[in-house]
Amino acid sequence: MEIVNIPTLHKPAVYLPEYIISQQDTINLARTNFKDNPNLEKSIELIINTGVMKRHIIQPIKLATLHPGFGYRNAVFEYESKRLVPSVVEQALNNAAASASQIAAIIYVSCSGFLMPSLTAWLINHMGLPDNTMQLPIAQLGCATGGSAINRAHDYVLAHPGSNVLIISCEFCSLSYQPTDGDVGSLLSDRLFGDAISAAVVTAEPGEGLSLERNASYLIPETDEWIRYQVKDTGFHFRLDKRVPGTMKPLAPVMRQLACDHGWDIENLAYCIIHAGGQRILDDLAKYLRVDLEQFSFSRDTLANCGNIASSVVFEAYRRMHEKGIFARGGKAIIAGFGPGITAEMSLSQWI
C-alpha cells in the first residue's frame, strides 16, 4: 500500500495563563519601578505604540515583579511547564485525530527557560509516546522558532514517510522580567512579551488543515547583535537595537521571492500568518509586501490580546483563524516567524 505523505498542520491548541496585566497596569508599573529612569517616558511611548492592550502571565503580577533569583525562576518554569503542557498536548492530538502512540517526533521550542534533559524526554516518559520518538529541542531562535518548528516538522515528514510530528511551544517570558534593569530594550520587553503554551500536530496524511508545501530560512547579514539576551546572574536581560523595526524592508523581497519560486504571487495570497513582534513590524511588512493591512488582522489581534508570545504567536494566530472558519479549500497561505539573528523562518501552504 502506498504511503500518503502530505505534511498537514492541524489546528493548534493554546493555553493562556489566568493572570492578566493590562497596558495601563504596565504603564503604572513602569512609573512606579522606574520613576527616576531617564528612559522612562521614551519607553512608555514605545509601550503605547506596540498595540498590546493586555497580556497573560504565569504568576500574579506581585510575584512576577519580584526577583528571587535565576535558579528559582527556572524552577518555576520547570514546574509550570510539566503541570500545564500535557493538557495542551492532549488537545492538539485531539484536533488532529491522533494519539500519542502515533507520534514519531517531538519538536519542542522555548526561549524563556532551560531544562536538561529537555521537556521532550519527560513527555515521552509521562504521556505514552513511543520510546524511539525523535526529540528536537530548539532554544535560541527566539520568536522565529514557531516558524522553524513548522518547517522542521515539514522536513521530517517528507524524510520519514507516514510519520507524525508533535510541535510544542512553551513561553513564559514574564519569568525574565528584570525589575532593576533600566535599559530601553529591557523596559520594552518587560512590557511587550506575554506567556503562552501552544501545541500542534503535523500529520503525514491530509486532513482539515494547512498542507505544508515549501519552506525557507533567511538571515539578514550583520544583524546578529540586534536582538539578543545578555545572560547575567539575574537571568536573561533582553537587548534590542533601535534598528530592528526597519528589518521588514529587507525581508519583504525574500518572502516575495519564496512565493515566486513556488509559482505564487505574494500579493494575492489568501492568508498571512505572521509573527507579531510589534505594531510597526506588521505595518511595515504590509507596506513592503504591498498587501492590505487586513491580511494581518489575526496577528494584530494576537498582539493586542496576548502581547508578543514569542514562538507561540504563529500558532495562536492560526488557531484564531481556524476558529473563525475563514479558510476555504485551495486557499494559499504564508506562515512567517522572525527572531534573533535576525532570522526569518517562512512556509508556504494551502488549505485542503
The rounded distance, in Å, linking the Cα atoms of 136 and 123 is 13
> Where do we find the cell 506562515?
335
Instruction: List 337's β-bridge partners, or say none.
Output: 345
**Which residues, 6+ apart, have CB-to-CB distance to 332 below 8 Å?**
264, 268, 269, 270, 271, 348, 349, 350
Q: What φ, ψ does residue 98 adopt, rounded to 5°?
A: -125, 160
* Active site positions, annotated: 143
Single out the residue of 166, 163, 157 nearest to residue 95, CA to CA: 166
DSSP letter string over 241-302?
A: -TTGGGGHHHHHHHHHHHHHHTT--GGG-SEEEE--S-HHHHHHHHHHHT--GGGGHHHHHH
Q: Is 173 helix (H, G, I), strand (E, B) or coil?
A: helix
107 within 8 A of 149, measured Cβ to Cβ = yes
* Side-chain-side CA neighbours of residue 243 (13 Å): 10
The answer to whether the Cα torsion of 297, 299, 302, 303 is positive or negative is: negative
